[in-house]
Amino acid sequence: MDLDVRNITKTYGPVTALNDLSLTIPAGSLTCFLGPSGCGKTTLLRVIAGLETADSGHIMLGSEDLSDTPPSERNFGVVFQSYSLFPNLTAIRNVQYGLECRGWSRARRRERAREMLDLVHLGDQADKLPEQMSGGQQQRIAIARALAPEPSLLLLDEPLSALDAKVRAGLRGEIRNIQQQFGITTVMVTHDQNEALEMADQIVVLRDGEIEQVGTARDLYAHPKTQFVADFIGAINLLPVSATPDGGARYGEATLSLTGALDGATTLGLRPEAITLGGSGEPGENALTCTVAGTRFMGNLQHVDLRPDCAPGQSLTVEMNGLVQAPGAGEKIVARFPSRALQVLR
């Protein structure tokens, strides 16, 4: 069943953490709440979980209004950033705990907990205490514990942010596999755009308690509507422009051709990988003569920083394959990009 967040407002004194926010989380999807610190991600997750009470609005699961249902009766699994396992209980007892509260028989509890531990590849760690396990293992136990009672919704609050990069990368894939295997509707809070891009079916970008844009990772990357989204998801060049009478965009002394209209916007976005350097180009392509300011080598990739001759004070970053010989600082070079690569941003 879809989860519907309807017109939720939540204030803390003078702070409006969520402002009349509405959203559908499709059944079986993994939806990420993404945004900078303080934008309201955790508050929204906690309102869905029932751990916070909204000032107004409703949380609907299918046709059922859960707004007044206590968290313990919502049948949602919740995993927090801090693993929050019971320190005095072994891994398997931690997983069994929620089942005990729900009245499962001893035999069923044991069987289900074993199944869940195997699912997170920790079947051989069943009798360890949390302190005897790594952070990644503890978080996998927390996930097993959340899934054990067959929740209708899985809520993950920055579940990977306390882990080191390699463990994080592994667990991303593991969570996604489990989510798809069970088809469980999942909401995950993260401030890590890569995590959201890699894992989510749907990304909800939040800003100051409101939704800035909702879409798939590809949508948001290829068609950001605002500078905020463009800048938050992936790297982008922001070009200040003004409209020309013939529907183009004036960028310094140059006129750029666009596929759409500026419609009053004054900024264009251009992804670094959409720019090519040198060559003869294609008809209709934008071409700007630039001076190379420098190159940043990152192994598989390199970023070349350019100063466009047409727009003093501006810069453009180009992303190139790390194996290709980059132009040297001070060289003159033509930067080319098709009109469809220019994104009109609000």
Ligand X SMILES: Nc1ncnc2c1ncn2[C@@H]1O[C@H](COP(=O)(O)OP(=O)(O)OP(=O)(O)O)[C@@H](O)[C@H]1O
Q: Contact residues for ligand X (CB under 6 A)?
A: 12, 15, 17, 35, 37-43, 191
Phi, psi torsion values for 205, nearest 5 degrees? -90, 120
Strand pairing report for 301-308 and 316-321:
antiparallel
The residue (of 43 and 227) whose beta carbon lies closer to ligand X is: 43
Question: In angstroms, what is the minimal distance from the CB of 11 to ligand X?
Answer: 9
Q: Report, in Å, the least distance between residue 78 CB and ligand X.
A: 15
Closest approach of ligand X to the CB of residue 156, in Å: 13
> How far apart are alpha carbons 234 and 196 in whole angstroms?
11
Instruction: Output 12 or 86, the one with its CB closest to ligand X.
Output: 12
Instruction: Tell me the closest approach of the beta carbon of residue 31 to ligand X, in angstroms.
Output: 15
Q: Which of 210, 185, 340 is nearest to 271 (CA)?
A: 340
In residues, how long is the chain?
346
CB of residue 161 to ligand X, shortest distance in Å: 9
- Residue 340 tokens, joined: 């469809």
Surface-to-core class of residue 192, CB atoms within 10 Å of its CB (0-12 exposed, 13-18 middle, 19+ buried): middle
Integer angstrom CA distances of residue 75 from 78, 99, 141, 152: 10, 11, 18, 6
For ligand X, the closer CB: 42 or 237: 42
Which C-beta is closer to ligand X: that of 53 or that of 134? 53
Identity of the residue, 190 or 317, whose beta carbon is nearer to ligand X in the bound complex: 190
Nearest distance in Å: CB 142, ligand X? 18
Q: Dihedral through CA 148, CA 190, CA 13, CA 6, nearest 10?
A: -70
Closer of 46 and 112 to ligand X (Cβ) = 46
3-state SS of 168-183 is HHHHHHHHHHHHHHHC
Nearer to ligand X, 42 or 343 (CB): 42
Q: How far apart, in whole angstroms, are the C-alpha atoms of residue 179 and residue 75?
A: 16
Single out the residue of 65, 57, 66 nearest to residue 17, CA to CA: 57
Q: CA–CA separation, 263 vs 50, rounded Å? A: 42
- Nearest approach, Cβ of residue 204 and ligand X (Å): 12
